[in-house]
Structure 1
Amino acid sequence: MKKYINKLFILGSLLFLGASCENDSADVTTLKAVSFPSQLVASSGTIVLTEDNADANAVLLSWPKVTFPIDAPVTYAIQFDLIGDTGGTNTWPKAKRVEVGEDVLSKALIGRDLNKIAIDLGLEPGVAGKVVVRVEAVMDRKIYSELITLTITPYEKSVVFGEIYMPGSYQGWAIETAAALTAIQKGIYQGYMTVPVGAGPGFKFNIARNWAQFYGAGATNFDLKNMSDTDFSLPGSGSYQIKVNLNTSKWSFAPYAWGIVGPASATADQTASDPNYGWNHSIPMSYDHQTKTWKVTANLLPGALKFRLNDNWDVNYGPADSSTNTINKDNGGAYTINEAGTYEITYTINETDPATTGYPATATCTIVKK
């Protein structure tokens, strides 16, 4: 019996020592002072940003390693704010944060990114303004470097104008009627087009509505090569969003089609097999690149009708007032088709650059019985 009591005593002592060690470690980690051993350093304290140098490094920020009581990775981030927002009880409330990573002790920012930070903080384009910067180090707690001040002159992004053109098999290679791609950024163009069933997939990109200068395929289908005889190609019939980047000499496409949806767009046979077919399947519209209008001629049934993008509900439009031809983004309303028959439906939307500006609050449509 005494032997077992001794064993229990030893075991209890070990558990107590283990708990004491854990508590001591926690105390040491929590109570030991941690700080940046030296100051954050910027490669330049005065920075003038321009659109021409937007993709070049504007500033390099570097800082010393922070040593915490335990050996583990330290996560760093940079914060930018206005001088007036760094005092009082609610400090750095509008700070713009740039994640850096674990055990990384420097970060270079290109002009485009630093310009966005400056504009978002309220600096006036073309005028020198001051922002403060500090580094955050995180392990079991957050600590901050002393702040430094940068004088930044941001630029205002210029309004971009211009077009390039896309002649191809889909429209008989006529440069006069080729789809136009509109500039959405400097050197970047975007447009929409439909390849009809039975049309060939080939096309080119032309700088003007002539053949004085054009681009064909280079090393791959997506590389632009000046005056190349090799056609670019699309996968086949359907509607597409096309983007061309003359800065990188690349182009890309994505399947893209507005469509009609609702019980009115379902046929009798489809409704018989699936009562919700009309809500589950859109009828795609084709893009008329000359009028910049989406169109479809369809046999409709009595029922509701709305518009949505790419056969899903992420982007959809319905009328707030069904007595008008104006339709509203994410509106639950629908048009009512009272009489079955063949209808011609059009849909027009301003799609300057949905990726950066989003989709507009309204679009327009027509629904006409033939």
Structure 2
Amino acid sequence: MKTAKILAGLIFSGGLFWSCSDDDNNPVMIPSDEPVITAPTSGTGYILTEDNASEQADRFVWNKAGFNVPTQINYSLQADISGNDFQSPAILGETTATQLSVSTEHLNNSALTLGLPSGEASEMEIRVVASVSDNTEKLISETILVSVTPYGSGNTGPSYLWVPGGYQSAGNYGGDWSPAEAPQLRSLPSSDTEFEGYIYFADTSEYKFTAAPEWGNGEYGDGGSGTLLLNDGPNLSAPAGYYLLHVDTEKLTYSLLDTNWGIIGDAIPGTGWDSDLDMTYDVTGKTWTITLDLQPGEFKFRANDSWELDYGDDEGDGILEKEGTNMKIDAGGSYTIVLNLSNPGEYTYTVTAK
């Protein structure tokens, strides 16, 4: 059975904003025209089936966003439950082009991640976010409203743990000991009781795991030697570092892996596949970045100068997978590469020509 699409033909347009700089010799980056999604249209429906998981669900197309100086633009295609205001969107993909193919499997997983029930039609909002760097204003398209009927075993998506602690304000995670503002760990696709995510500790700090974005609904304390106590135990503690956290709420165990990220590959002149070039962590953007000259070739992200933990991009959609396919650089030049591990289970990257 093929993925079903139902077109309603509703048309909308985004607003236009014009601005300029008085100093033509030193142009200022000022956003102007927002991207406008031209396909699909609002009212499109998707009935997803596992038989067509590897096939394209749809190709999303939009107009180029307007910035007043020539520059490469990064686009993020995002989805969220209707009415949720994109507070915690699923990332359908990231690209520098003005179109993106989304597979049935990816759209289905995103729908389940957002909590849409399997076997039922539910509304989902989709938008495009255009940016040129973390320090410039983003241009956001008007949303389109689509209907998605995901498949699955009835699991309505992943579960989460929150990690409130005394590290939050220094790490740009909101107020200290605020579960609602704390970063999250997300359950693994293979298990409802195993969770992972990345968190930055600027200094040695204490923390706990909570089962909800508030106190009093299940908290996990330190049971000693990598074990947890439910609704009991002292605070956990970690030295300064950027950690991959893993928690098993069934076995009541946890682990932390301190990571420092770099890139490696034959797209990097001089070092190639022999050694990494280290990236720098940006607390404000919660991302790892590096700017360097590249040559035609391939590269990957790697932690701690080791192949024990690395990421590639299997589908070329800007979303990373562990031990995934090498990323390609087609033309030599200066690039800024940004690695974003702050959204658990939806790790992304961008490669921007300077």
Kindly indicate whether structure 1 or structure 2 has the higher relative contact order, using CA contacts under 8 Å at least 6 residues apart. Answer: 2
Query: Which structure has greater helix proportion?
Result: 1
- In our comparison, the structure showing a higher alpha carbon Rg is 1
Normalised by the size of structure 1, how large is the TM-score? Answer: 0.40
